[in-house]
């Protein structure tokens, strides 16, 4: 027996089998010696069946009406069986039944010949026998089945609004969705036990036709929204079915059907939970995150335990591709993302992040397999373990925050082994991997400049970072950034087998990431198509301007984590806020990112006037800008603008790439100040500039005619204080003048970026 799909069959059966009680017994011929009294209430009540089904479908049918509808159908069936006979001995053909009931009792919602044929297939799947006629003995069995259907329909009725996507979004809770899907599971499993479905050859195509006929029957002369929605989703349901069940799955045992039914109910439950709960979550507290975690865990478990994965060990890429096409044609996600980009990215994720041992070798990559799922489960468990710690941290009740010192104390005392062993995995090797990851987290928490986010989700950069309280929201975002950084390191770094604190990513690794993610980056407007592969420049920025940057030939885990955090909170988030806030500066022309150009004069003034709002995560920088006179602000703005000019910059206008670059540069400047202003006087002395020189040393060796570190260090100091690349005589003269120079302010460091821009852009890949 070939199994294709019974989701639509179950829907048509559970919602329309009472109709089968009317339509499967249509047009039996009345014969002597009895004359049927068609005005008899036991038959006349059938006229109400379509409207009762409609009410049931939207959860508005009372228990009395539901029981009345089924009892009416049962009485009608028994009466019909006892008082008529058809052209086939002891049975009735499809046309006889359809004509009889259509003529006398279902005039407004008659059953079409096609729908009648589909109902007979359902009859055969549930009761056995032929799909050409219905016997009187089968009517008896159907009447008994209607008793079960009646009781289950009563239990299902309160949940139908939720199950058919008719409930109020904001008022529907996780628990209500769970209750609805569990009742649906119980009902359908009971029907499976009481019918012959597991030995039938009912197909997915049969189910689609039955669902279409049911919708037409209930519609009558007017559309019926619940079934229109269900019918629209059928193609995507088929795609998901192929992923979870396979295209030609054979189910020969009842337990296999039950397992498959459980898979389908689990999937439907997840879809409803996303529709009603996850999609409306505000992420305001631990309970919200726990629901997200539970949702992801159920989704992973669904794939791990589906028929296809358990029996074949693989979900083929071609089936995933079909689902991607379906999803991307139905949902736009507010961006013009191409299906081809998603297909490429999920293959890269499978190849790189979830199979790092392949080192990018795509040969033999057929789809999603058990090893990929195991790797994904590990990363999810790492995120869950860390989030459990953050959720249980000893936050001050009044301020809802915790100091870094107290957070580290909590980290040292946290019983990670209990969480790992009791809540995450019983696999000893996976437990070891989680413990190693826990050590990685400790490295990040104990950093001198621990990444901390403010209420706007922006990285806090301040000279007194250790005294800044840490909130639950900050730690939750930190956990997300760590997960992203881990995936980047797993896919493109070296030495990732154990803890990632000893892993490192080369410039070539980051270039490969930009190259492989370029198509998606362009689709979502994150990458600038004019700049080509900017992996080399990003590598240098991470090495120069993160808190932990040291200028060597590698990005370690801390540098990667800090770079990812700055990129998301500054380059993308803060930039978007500025663009949205400056609507008054727009001109009627859009840039390459689809955003409006802005008048530069308007932007420049508004940028200064609201600087404290845009950069409330950098109090030192905000105070510096506020204290500038007009001439100094003009100079600072000019340095920023010159460092952010695009290849085809339009005079007098500001575009998205300018804003993103300006925002990142300001954060980079503050990272340097926070790291090296050891006396906290908001300027850098000569010694503090010397202390910063080593992180730039390897770069200057590639662009300087000399390799002597003393000369390079003096040249770097000269560049900071004078704003130009020195020659030999310049360095010599600097030895006499450097002790008389004022300390460097943020203005001088901003000037440094303009001077370095060409070297950064020309840096060898």
pLDDT value at 17 more than 50: no
Q: For residue 283, name the pLDDT band (cuts at 50, 70, 90).
A: confident
Residue 238 shares a structural domain with residue 161: yes
Higher pLDDT, residue 669 or 230: 669
Least confident of 74-83, 137-146, 654-663: 74-83
pLDDT at 765: 52
| Contact between 474 and 459 (Cβ < 8 Å) | no
Residue 616 located in a structural domain: no
Residue 446 shares a structural domain with residue 354: yes
Residue 74 located in a structural domain: yes
Higher pLDDT, residue 228 or 704: 704
Residue 557 located in a structural domain: no
Residue 91 located in a structural domain: yes
pLDDT at 370: 96
pLDDT value at 62 more than 90: no
Q: Quote the pTM value.
A: 0.85
Q: Report the 3 state secondary structure along 385-404.
A: HHHHHHHCCCCCCCCCEECH
Question: What average pLDDT does range 601-608 have in this prediction?
Answer: 97
pLDDT at 3: 38
pLDDT at 114: 78
pLDDT at 380: 98
pLDDT at 216: 62
pLDDT at 1: 41
pLDDT at 231: 64
Instruction: Please give the tally of structural domains in the chain.
Output: 2
Residue 470 located in a structural domain: yes
pLDDT value at 107 more than 60: no
Q: For residue 41, name the pLDDT band (cuts at 50, 70, 90).
A: low
Last residue of a domain, one of 518, 546, 574: 546
DSSP lists the bridge partners of residue 599 as 653
Higher pLDDT, residue 706 or 88: 88
At CB < 8 A and 24+ separation, what contacts does 594-600 make?
594/525, 595/655, 595/656, 597/650, 597/653, 597/654, 597/655, 598/653, 598/654, 598/655, 599/652, 599/653, 599/654, 600/652, 600/653, 600/654
pLDDT value at 472 more than 70: yes
Residue-number span of the structural domain to which 264 is assigned: 7-280
Q: Report the 3 state secondary structure along 155-172.
A: HHHHHHHHHCCCCCCCCC
Question: What average pLDDT does range 448-466 have in this prediction?
Answer: 92
Residue 18 shares a structural domain with residue 135: yes
Q: For residue 743, name the pLDDT band (cuts at 50, 70, 90).
A: very high
Residue 64 located in a structural domain: yes
Q: Considering the chain, what percentage of its residues have pLDDT values greater than 90? A: 50
pLDDT tens-digit series, residues 656-700: 999 999 999 999 999 999 999 999 999 999 999 999 999 888 877
Question: Cα separation of 562 and 374, whole Å?
Answer: 27
Mean per-residue pLDDT of the chain: 85
Higher pLDDT, residue 760 or 377: 377
Question: Cα separation of 520 and 490, whole Å?
Answer: 19
pLDDT tens-digit series, residues 287-346: 999 999 999 999 999 999 998 998 899 999 999 999 999 988 887 776 789 999 999 999
Last residue of a domain, one of 546, 569, 601: 546
Question: What average pLDDT does range 153-168 have in this prediction?
Answer: 86
Residue 563 located in a structural domain: no
Q: For residue 122, name the pLDDT band (cuts at 50, 70, 90).
A: confident
DSSP-assigned states of every residue in 522-558: HHTT-S-TTS---HHHHHHHHHHHSTT---SS-EEHH
Q: Report the 3 state secondary structure along 238-276.
A: HHHHHHHHCCCCECCCHHHHHHHHHHHHHHHHHHHHHHH
């Amino acid at each position: 027996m070939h199994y294709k799909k019974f989701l639509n069959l179950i829907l048509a059966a559970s919602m329309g089998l009472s109709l089968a009680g009317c339509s499967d017994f249509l047009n039996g011929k009345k014969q002597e010696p009895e004359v049927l009294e068609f005005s008899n209430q036991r038959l006349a009540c059938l006229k109400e069946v379509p409207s009762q089904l409609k009410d049931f479908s939207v959860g508005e049918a009372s228990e009395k009406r539901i029981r009345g509808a089924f009892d009416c159908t049962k009485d009608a069936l028994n009466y019909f069986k006892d008082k008529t006979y058809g052209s086939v001995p002891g049975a009735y053909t499809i046309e006889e039944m359809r004509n009889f009931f259509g003529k006398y009792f279902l005039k407004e919602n008659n059953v079409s010949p096609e729908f009648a044929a589909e109902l007979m297939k359902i009859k055969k799947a549930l009761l056995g026998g032929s799909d050409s006629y219905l016997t009187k003995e089968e009517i008896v069995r159907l009447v008994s089945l209607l008793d079960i259907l009646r009781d289950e329909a009563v239990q299902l009725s309160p949940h139908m609004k939720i199950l058919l996507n008719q409930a109020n979004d904001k008022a529907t809770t996780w628990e209500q969705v769970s209750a609805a899907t569990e009742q649906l599971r119980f009902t359908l499993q009971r029907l499976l036990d009481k019918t012959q479905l597991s030995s039938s050859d009912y197909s997915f195509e049969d189910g689609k036709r039955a669902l279409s006929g049911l919708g037409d029957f209930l519609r009558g002369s007017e559309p019926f929204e619940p079934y229109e929605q269900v019918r629209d989703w059928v193609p995507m349901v088929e795609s998901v079915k192929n992923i979870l069940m396979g295209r030609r799955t054979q189910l020969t045992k009842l337990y296999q059907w039950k397992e498959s039914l459980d898979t389908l109910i689990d999937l439907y439950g997840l879809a409803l939970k996303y529709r009603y709960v996850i999609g409306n979550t505000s992420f305001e507290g631990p309970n919200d995150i726990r629901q997200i975690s539970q949702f992801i865990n159920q989704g992973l478990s669904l794939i791990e335990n589906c028929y296809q994965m358990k029996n074949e060990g693989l979900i083929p890429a071609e089936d995933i591709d079909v689902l991607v096409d379906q999803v991307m044609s139905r949902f736009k996600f507010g961006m013009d993302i191409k299906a081809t980009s998603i297909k490429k990215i999920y293959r890269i994720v499978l190849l790189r992040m979830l199979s790092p041992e392949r080192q990018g070798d795509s040969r033999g990559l057929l789809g999603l397999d058990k090893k990929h799922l195991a790797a994904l489960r590990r990363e999810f468990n790492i995120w869950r373990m860390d989030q459990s710690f953050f959720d249980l941290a000893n936050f001050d009740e009044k301020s809802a925050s915790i100091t870094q010192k107290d957070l580290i104390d909590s980290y040292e005392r946290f019983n990670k082994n209990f969480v790992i062993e009791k809540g995450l995995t019983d696999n000893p090797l996976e437990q070891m991997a989680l413990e190693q990851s826990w050590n990685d987290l400790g490295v990040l928490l104990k950093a001198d400049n621990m990444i901390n986010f403010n209420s706007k989700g922006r990285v806090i950069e301040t000279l007194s970072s250790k005294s800044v309280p840490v909130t639950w929201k900050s730690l939750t975002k930190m956990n997300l950034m760590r997960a992203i950084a881990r995936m980047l390191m797993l896919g493109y770094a070296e030495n990732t087998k154990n803890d990632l604190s000893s892993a490192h990513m080369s410039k070539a690794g980051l270039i490969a990431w930009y190259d492989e993610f370029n198509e998606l980056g362009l689709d979502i407007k994150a990458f600038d198509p004019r700049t080509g592969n900017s992996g080399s420049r990003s590598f240098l920025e991470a090495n120069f301007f993160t808190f932990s940057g040291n200028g060597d030939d590698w990005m370690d885990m801390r540098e990667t984590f800090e770079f990812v955090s700055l990129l998301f909170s500054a380059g993308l988030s803060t930039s978007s806020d500025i663009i949205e806030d400056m609507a008054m500066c727009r001109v009627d022309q859009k840039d390459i990112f689809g955003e409006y150009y802005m008048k530069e004069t308007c932007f420049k003034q508004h940028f200064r006037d609201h600087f404290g709002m845009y950069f409330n995560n950098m109090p030192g920088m905000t105070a510096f800008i506020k204290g500038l006179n007009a001439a100094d602000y003009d100079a600072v703005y000019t340095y920023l603008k010159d460092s952010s000019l695009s290849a085809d910059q339009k005079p007098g206008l500001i575009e998205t790439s300018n804003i993103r670059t300006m925002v990142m540069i300001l954060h980079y400047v503050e990272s340097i100040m926070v790291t090296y202003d050891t006396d906290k006087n908001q300027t850098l002395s000569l010694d503090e500039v010397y202390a910063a020189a080593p992180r730039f040393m390897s770069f200057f060796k590639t662009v300087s005619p000399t390799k002597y570190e003393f000369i390079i260090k003096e040249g770097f100091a000269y560049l900071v204080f004078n704003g130009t690349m020195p020659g030999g005589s310049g360095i010599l003269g600097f030895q006499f003048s450097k002790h008389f120079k004022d300390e460097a302010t943020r203005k001088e460091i901003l000037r440094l970026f303009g001077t370095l821009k060409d070297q950064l852009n020309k840096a060898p890949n």
